[in-house]
Amino acid sequence: MHWSAARKWTVVALLNLMTLIIGLSTSAYSSGIGSMTSEFGVAVVAGQVGMFTFNAACAVTPLFFAPLCELAGRRWIYIGAFGCFTVINIMLALGKNIGTEIVGRLLSGAFGSIGTILVGGTFTDIFNSKDISVPMSIFTFSAIFSTIAAPTYAGYIDQYAGWRWIQWVSLIASGVLLVAEIIFLKEPRGAGEWPRPVASAQVDWQADLIAAPFPVILQRRAKALRKETGDDRYRAAMELESESIAQLFRDSSLRAFKLLFREPVVFMFGFWIAFAWGIVFLFLSAIPLAFQDNRGWSEGNAGLPYISLIIGCIIGFGTGFWQDSMYNKAQAKNNGVAIPEARLYGAMIFGPLFPIGILIFSFTQYAFVCVFYLVVPYLPFAR
């Protein structure tokens, strides 16, 4: 919390770029499914299994990464997982059969989940509640934008260089960012000075240990104190609890499921996000069918309709700041007490546009169908 603005925004930039690259890799794979399955001599649906395995692993793995952050800190989790994600691109690019690709996508989703799930928690470590809205908005934008932006270029890569180069491009981008993360990403799971030698009895290290809120920094500080003073009484609260790693994993995983099924708000928002996200990934298969097969577009051009989704994503990002201003105004009018319902203005206005957009896309996927012919006959002046 006491880091400089430059250091905080360095973390924001590095982690959002990581989210961006992982998201691009997530959906870029879909553009090469047709040529990949043709080369391997399997059905296209077999290649699409790789989309499922990525998302399935991305959904489950964070339940285990989260407690690891408490034990080892976030920095090494980020660097280690993103390093594995980077290396797996080699496996995907050199795969000789569909089984290798499916397993590679499973592992890619497992390690790539750190860029789509854990980043938000890191921002809460370094920003207070008043300043966190902008970093979180950028993070949300990066996650959604990257998923829908990849097909706009990946189709051209597959068309002119082959599906394997989609993975090579991802490897190059991930590798460059990984080096930057190793150099510039500092441990964000806690703050404070490293222990200094005890100069006098006036220094109350025990009070300092109790006051510090972050277990990773606590453990390191306590270990340094034991080494400096030779006094084994200095212990972090986490060390005194003697909680087993198995118990930590069990509590972390069960807590997520308890919140999901016992809190109606969490369940409904989770259900809506899962449905909307599922539709987005279905578009990765539906849009090429609508424009490449039904309209005869080239493989590269068939990815251009995703530009409309990108525009919608940008509009949503911009209106998020309007939503924040409405929330802050409602909070100020209520004597500084937050009003949760004031967060719903954007959802009430833009939520209905989601099913409306799906219906328009569904009824106009063939070249001979136009919204004009669907709407005009029902207008009063057309009767």
State the pLDDT at residue 201: 38
State the pLDDT at residue 5: 87
118 with 185, same domain: the answer is: yes
* Average pLDDT score over residue span 278-299: 84
* Average pLDDT score over residue span 268-273: 88
Supply the CATH number for residue 166's domain. 1.20.1250.20
Q: Are 153 and 303 in contact (CB under 8 A)?
A: yes
Distance in angstroms (rounded) separating the CA atoms of residues 323 and 266:
20
Distance in angstroms (rounded) separating the CA atoms of residues 59 and 55:
6
Half-sphere exposure of 50 (CA within 13 A, CB side): 30
pTM listed for this prediction: 0.78
97 with 122, same domain: the answer is: yes
pLDDT grade for 377, boundaries at 50, 70 and 90: low
* Average pLDDT score over residue span 145-173: 92
Single residue among 165, 191, 217 that ends a domain in this structure: 191
Single residue among 144, 169, 191 that ends a domain in this structure: 191
167 with 73, same domain: the answer is: yes
Confidence check: pLDDT of 187 > 50? yes
Quote the mean pLDDT of the chain: 82
When computed from its CA atoms, the radius of gyration of the chain, rounded to whole angstroms, is: 25
Non-local (6+) Cβ contacts of 369 within 8 A are 363
43 with 167, same domain: the answer is: yes
State the pLDDT at residue 24: 92
167 with 57, same domain: the answer is: yes
206 with 91, same domain: the answer is: no
Nearest to 219 by CA among 75, 71, 74: 71
205 with 186, same domain: the answer is: no
Among 65-69, 99-103, 139-143, name the most confident range: 99-103
Look at 144 and 374; give whichever has higher pLDDT.
144
The tokens 């603005």 sit on which residue?
Answer: 5
pLDDT tens-digit series, residues 55-100:
899 888 887 777 777 666 788 889 999 999 999 999 999 999 999 9
pLDDT grade for 219, boundaries at 50, 70 and 90: confident
Distance in angstroms (rounded) separating the CA atoms of residues 89 and 101:
10
Total number of domains constituting the chain: 2
Nearest to 66 by CA among 190, 241, 249, 214: 249
State the pLDDT at residue 192: 38
Confidence check: pLDDT of 295 > 90? no
Note whether residue 246 is domain-resident: yes
Note whether residue 236 is domain-resident: yes
User: Which amino acid, residue 69?
Assistant: C
Which of 9-18, 143-152, 285-294 is predicted least confidently? 285-294
Give me the domain span that covers residue 22.
1-191
121 with 134, same domain: the answer is: yes
2 with 117, same domain: the answer is: yes
Look at 249 and 310; give whichever has higher pLDDT.
310
Percent of the chain with pLDDT over 70: 83
Q: Are 343 and 178 in contact (CB under 8 A)?
A: no
Note whether residue 382 is domain-resident: no
133 with 200, same domain: the answer is: no
Q: Are 154 and 288 in contact (CB under 8 A)?
A: no
Note whether residue 362 is domain-resident: no
Note whether residue 274 is domain-resident: no
Helix, strand, coil percentages in the chain from 3-state DSSP, rounded to 5: 80, 0, 20
Single residue among 214, 235, 262 that ends a domain in this structure: 262
Look at 213 and 59; give whichever has higher pLDDT.
59
Percent of the chain with pLDDT over 90: 31
